[in-house]
Amino acid sequence: MSNRLVENETIEKSNCQHCGAHVSRDFRRTFGDGDDIAHRCPACDCMPRISRGTAAGKELDYPDPEDQPQRNQGGRVEARTDGGESL
C-alpha cells in the first residue's frame, strides 16, 4: 500500500496545482517550488508571471490572466489543444 501512496504523490506532483494540467519534470524543476511542485503553468498563466515566480507559489502584483481574460495566457496552449490550427 505504501507504493500506491508514492505513485499517487508522483501523479499529483506532475500536475499543476492551480488548473490540474500536466507539467513536465523539467518545468517543475526549473519554475516550481523547492519541492518541484508547479503552482501555475503555461495552461493557466502567462510566461512573464511564471518567470517571476508564480509557478513556485509566489504572489505577484503583475496582472493575472485569470482575473483579466484579455491578457495573454500563452498562444502555445491553444496550439496544443487544437493541433496548431489557430497559428
User: What DSSP assignment string belongs to 11-73?
Assistant: HHHTB-TTT--B--HHHHHHHS-TTS--SS-TTTS-HHHHHTTGGGT---SSPPTTTSTTS--
Whether 84 has a pLDDT exceeding 60, the answer reads: no
* Residue 57 falls inside a structural domain: yes
Whether 15 has a pLDDT exceeding 70, the answer reads: yes
* Residue 43 falls inside a structural domain: yes
Chain segment 46-76, per-residue pLDDT in tens? 899 999 999 999 999 988 888 887 666 555 5
Domain count within the chain: 1
Whether 23 has a pLDDT exceeding 60, the answer reads: yes
Distance CA 82, CA 84 (A): 6
* Residue 86 falls inside a structural domain: no
Domain of residue 35, residue span: 2-81
